[in-house]
Structure 1
Amino acid sequence: MTSHNILAVGGAHVDRRGRMTGTFVPGASIPGAMREDVGGGAFNALRTAVQLGARGSIVSMRGGDAVGDAVARAIAQAGISDLSAVFLDRATPSYTALLDSEGDVVAALADMALYEIAFPKQLRRAKLRAEMAAADAVLCDANIPAAGLQRLAALGEGKPIFAIAISPAKAVRLTDILPALACLYMNRREAAALAGMGSDDPVEAIIDGLKARGLARGVVTQGSRTAIAFDAFHVLAIAPPAPRKIVDVTGAGDALAGAMTVALLEGLPLSQALRQGVAAALLAVESPTSTPELSRAAFADALALVSAPEEMR
């Protein structure tokens, strides 16, 4: 197996997740527990990729606060080269989610002003061009503003660029670089936003809309429902296996992105890459942290639970 060098550009921040133990009632105070660890779309996905054999480095933005120190430690502990910029007078970005007793997100707040301010300028650094030249692939997320994503696509021309949509509001930032992407990872609401359609529209129509906008390959997840991968030749669907326990759905899509990126870089067909992505997502749902610990044995056990994909058309 070749160890591919992946340069991630995007979110590496603190994830706070409050899990309710009682029934959610809007406007009411619900008992529960709060957990905090380091996450972010690009970081979560890269951490998964590194556990599966890739080499990784990351470019992100953080403040000069205790939270930023925690992010730096987590990057180092993951065996990832840290190329991030630190702004001493700014707060490190954070994501705070409230989960119901089943682990599903009820509401979330993204405090990420630093990304909006800093990414476009930082992507013009000469050092980034050198790191881009040394990378085999780029993995980015839509925490980067549209202007920064366009700059990144220009810098990465000729290399496979993988992207994570992050949210329906941020996914549309990827519109102008869709033709440059090797694969885009998104949920159904994000896919619909990018296609200019409603999330209740047929998923096949949403995929056709994405293809019409220049996206050659992508994955559309639907929570516990069918995960769909498509390219110019196939539209493949897998019904995810039922989790053996549901702890936290946060980070499942990022884990899928990291695992699929490694599989595609290894030259595996889309069908096998999708199976590996679904297996990683299963382990993420069963993990209390935003990135699961992917031992070879645990990954093999999860993969054995994932059925072969079926052709949708």
Structure 2
Amino acid sequence: MTTSPDILCIGSVLWDVIGRAPNPMRLGSDVPGRITRLPGGVAMNIAMTLRRFGMRPALLSAVGRDAEGDELIATCARMGMITSHIYRSDDLPTDRYMAVEGANGLIAAIADAHSLEAAGDKILRPLKGGTLGGPGRPFGGIVALDGNLTEALLEEIAGSDLFAEADLRVAPASPGKAERLTPFLDHGRATLYVNLEEAGLLCHTQFPSAGAAAEGLLARGAARALVTDGGRSAAMGIPGAVIDKTPPEVLVTRVTGAGDTFMAAHIVAEAEGAAPDAALDRALAAAAAYVSGDISA
């Protein structure tokens, strides 16, 4: 497989450990279900959807040189990811994410991405003087960036000449990390992918709908913004217009990774030349198929 990527996915690449129960759950529930382990992390989830649609993603992340890391790298390579640019650490363990989901959605989750944060800008070495770029030769393609990086590194990326020609697509890893994306509000070219809660955190308010949130993000300086709200209407905000679309109604069987699937499908649609409303439709359809279980994890 060629080592020339169509897109860079920068952020968390880890093991997802997900417990799913077929019934509604609450705090303290102890119920039968299924526990799975599969490659995950925001950058990885985006890359997996990109591969399903035929793109060649390169991963920029931190993965330990432990047994879990070796297995993760091998699994990513088998899926068709370009893994040669991943920073492999001798003294940092491979990161993990653990979640519990019931029929009523996500109950709780813990993201252990400490190794990615500790690695810092080491994950950007291929862009600073490697095969992907360097001073005077910035990467000029699409970059999917996730908010699991530290605030300092995200701020560096937002102002770095290394990304001056990149088509930046940025998403928080979770509502708890949404405000890390603040430097991209006035970036000028970055596209933000957030849910309704994350949009409110970035704008320090509460929005009644995805459309209102998209308008709010544009008012705060965002070049473009896509806002989702579960099964309710999603919106895309571009200068001078906000497009609202309602997702297909499906039976929800899982939620972890749905936002990443939405983002990746939208990137692919636009890369193929789809108009804004058509790209939003395709992204919502892909996310609906994912949460319904019609697409393999």
Measured against the shorter chain, the TM-score band is 0.7 to 0.9
Inter-partner Cα distance in structure 1 for 2:100 and 2:165: 40
* Corresponding position of 2:193: 185
Q: Which moved more, 1:162-171 or 1:23-32?
A: 23-32
Identity rate, percent? 33
1:95-132 per-residue CA deviation (whole Å, 9 max, x = no partner) reads: 11110134x10110111111221123433556566414
Give matches, 1:3-42, under 5 Å.
Answer: 5-42=6-43
- Residue 281 of structure 1 deviates from its aligned partner by 0.5
Q: Secondary structure at the match of 1:30?
A: coil
The answer to whether 1:276 aligns with 2:277 is no
Higher relative contact order (CA 8 A, sep 6+): 1
Normalising by structure 2, report the TM-score: 0.88
The answer to whether 1:195 aligns with 2:203 is yes
Inter-partner Cα distance in structure 2 for 1:196 and 1:71: 38
CA contact (8 A) 2:140 2:167 kept: no
Normalising by structure 1, report the TM-score: 0.83
Give matches, 1:18-167, under 5 Å.
Answer: 18-82=19-83, 83-102=85-104, 104-124=105-125, 130-132=131-133, 133=138, 136-153=141-158, 154=160, 155-167=162-174
Q: Which moved more, 1:131-140 or 1:157-166?
A: 131-140
Q: Which moved more, 1:202-211 or 1:220-229?
A: 202-211
Give matches, 1:208-223, under 5 Å.
Answer: 208-223=215-230
Inter-partner Cα distance in structure 2 for 1:58 and 1:122: 10
Give the alignment's Cα RMSD to 1 decimal.
Answer: 2.3
Residues 246 and 70 of structure 1, relative CA distance in 2, 3 Å threshold: farther
Residues 50 and 182 of structure 1, relative CA distance in 2, 3 Å threshold: farther
The answer to whether 1:265 aligns with 2:277 is no
| Deviating 4+ runs (over 6 angstroms) | none
- Aligned positions, number: 286
- Residue 27 of structure 1 deviates from its aligned partner by 2.4
One-letter code aligned to 1:261: I
Residues 130 and 178 of structure 1, relative CA distance in 2, 3 Å threshold: farther
Q: 1:246 aligns with which of 225, 242, 252?
A: 252
One-letter code aligned to 1:207: A
Gaps of 5+ in 1: 295-313
